[in-house]
Structure 1
Amino acid sequence: MLPSSFKPQASAALLQRHKWRGRVGLMLVASLSVLAGMTDAIGFMASGDFVSFMSGNTTRLAVAISDGDLGLSARLTLLVATFVLGNALGVIISRASKRHALPLLLCIAMLLCGAAAWPWDDLLPALLAAIVAMGMLNAAVEEVNGLPVGLTYVTGALSRFGRGLGRWMLGERRNGWRVQLIPWAGMFVGAVIGALLEQHMGIRALLVSGLLSALLGLVSLKIPRRWHLGYMPR
């Protein structure tokens, strides 16, 4: 039989580990959201198309179809389909690497650096590489301590925050809704940085995004393996 004092101590230790897993996960979410916002701003300013904000591209696609603009409709359909493909590839790479973040983030870094090095005036191939990378990024973290998070889009995060705010105003005291502002803030800060970089470097600013992805991959090696298994998609 365990001493009676052992159970409270063990429970406290488990609770502390749970809190630290959540904090580390949210820091990772914030960092990856900065990467997403930076890349989206660079791609948008360089080409006029969104790299990770597929809601915007979907609305633009609908307008293009209503205007009868077949060329733009085909281009936007390709962008949205490429993003879906990137998400699928992210899960495949995650599973193939036994749910380690480093291989996934290194693949993303290679795609972004390749896009930055694209030598011709037609930016569509570079844009597609960046979109695949942003789709793959969503496989890096899917949830933190049971809370769903999005890395390359913030509409869901703002919606969950707003609904949580409404429940709080009604007197309900549920946990977790406030953290939904973290991916939004990360993406906003990243977009500001990306816009500034693009003004000075153009599409080659994606090199900074690629280097950030590689750096975050190396940092992820410091995160306990069992925590990663809880963050990444199953």
Structure 2
Amino acid sequence: MLPSSRKPYTNVTLAHRQRWRGRVGMMLVACLSVLAGMTDAIGFMASGDFVSFMSGNTTRLAVAISAGDLGLTGRLVLLIATFVLGNALGVMVSRFSKRHALPLLLCIGALLCGAALWPSTETLPALLAAIIAMGMLNAAVEEVNGLPVGLTYVTGALSRFGRGLGRWLLGERRNGWRVQLIPWAGMFIGAVIGALLEQQMGLRALWVSGALAGLLGLVTLMIPRRWHLGFMPR
């Protein structure tokens, strides 16, 4: 009787923990998406270039090539390559820090604060620092309870939400598709905040992004280590 009486309790406990892990993970995703949206809006309004939305920069690159604009083509190639480098650096920092999020987010915060300190007459170095930071941000959370999430881009999230909606309309009842709106909403809210900040502070609004990255790094210390290991890239 004892083993059978313990089994339902264990299953309920595991399910309860999994639900809480999912909620905490998606709250973290929402906050990090706010950071990404804020930074992207600040960078775009200050320079006209996207900081985290590389799909937009890729389309602009194709248009620049077709127009024969070599200067813009070179600039956009540099921005896209820098973003790729940032993603690689994010994984490396995560591994070197034994997959603790705090060192990663502190590095991101330092890059954003450094960008804010750069003279406003030369926006490219500040822009590159912010792009590296946004690339690195993707190493903070890769999935939550097996659901893939994106922090600095939301096209995939909207696509997964739309496909889930289509299945739901067909009568299928699968879990997980609704939460894909969380990173989209976070990025949208962050972009609104970033646009308002840039109107008041210009590129120095990246100070706020840097401070938020550091604050979120401290918040991750309150997340159980086992949970966070499941969020970050392996």
Using the size of structure 2 for normalisation, the TM-score is 0.99
Amino acid at match of 2:17: R
Partner residue, 1:66: 66
Amino acid at match of 1:216: L
Partner residue, 2:88: 88
Instruction: Tell me the CA shift for residue 3 of structure 1.
Output: 3.4
| Matched pairs, number | 234
Q: Sequence identity, in percent?
A: 83
Partner residue, 1:130: 130
Amino acid at match of 2:53: F
Amino acid at match of 1:119: P
Written as runs of structure 1 = structure 2, the 5 A alignment for 1:15-94 is 15-94=15-94
Paired residue secondary structure (1:59) = helix
Instruction: Tell me the CA shift for residue 119 of structure 1.
Output: 2.1
Q: Does 1:171 align with 2:154?
A: no
Paired residue secondary structure (1:4) = helix
Segments of structure 2 that go 5 or more residues without pairing to the other structure are none
Segments of structure 1 that go 5 or more residues without pairing to the other structure are none
Whether the 8 Å contact between 2:86 and 2:135 is mirrored in structure 1 is yes
Partner residue, 2:190: 190
Partner residue, 1:106: 106
- The runs of 4+ residues in structure 1 deviating greater than 4 Å are none
CA distance in 2, matches of 1:68, 1:81: 20
1:212-234 C-alpha deviation (Å, 9 max, x unpaired): 00000000000000001100000
CA distance in 2, matches of 1:58, 1:4: 58
Paired residue secondary structure (1:72) = helix
Amino acid at match of 1:166: G
CA distance in 2, matches of 1:71, 1:212: 34
Partner residue, 1:231: 231
Partner residue, 1:146: 146
Paired residue secondary structure (1:221) = helix
CA distance in 2, matches of 1:19, 1:2: 26
Whether the 8 Å contact between 2:113 and 2:206 is mirrored in structure 1 is yes
Amino acid at match of 2:90: G
Amino acid at match of 2:65: I
1:36-66 C-alpha deviation (Å, 9 max, x unpaired): 0000000000000000000000000000000
Whether the 8 Å contact between 2:86 and 2:131 is mirrored in structure 1 is yes
Amino acid at match of 2:117: A
CA distance in 2, matches of 1:153, 1:5: 47
**Change beyond 3 A, Cα 1:166–1:120:** closer
1:111-164 C-alpha deviation (Å, 9 max, x unpaired): 000000002511000000000000000000000000000000000000000000
Partner residue, 1:219: 219
CA distance in 1, matches of 2:120, 2:61: 26
Whether the 8 Å contact between 2:161 and 2:180 is mirrored in structure 1 is yes
CA distance in 2, matches of 1:179, 1:228: 18
Amino acid at match of 1:62: A
Whether the 8 Å contact between 2:120 and 2:203 is mirrored in structure 1 is no
CA distance in 2, matches of 1:164, 1:11: 27
Whether the 8 Å contact between 2:113 and 2:207 is mirrored in structure 1 is yes
1:167-209 C-alpha deviation (Å, 9 max, x unpaired): 0000000000000000000000000000000000000000000
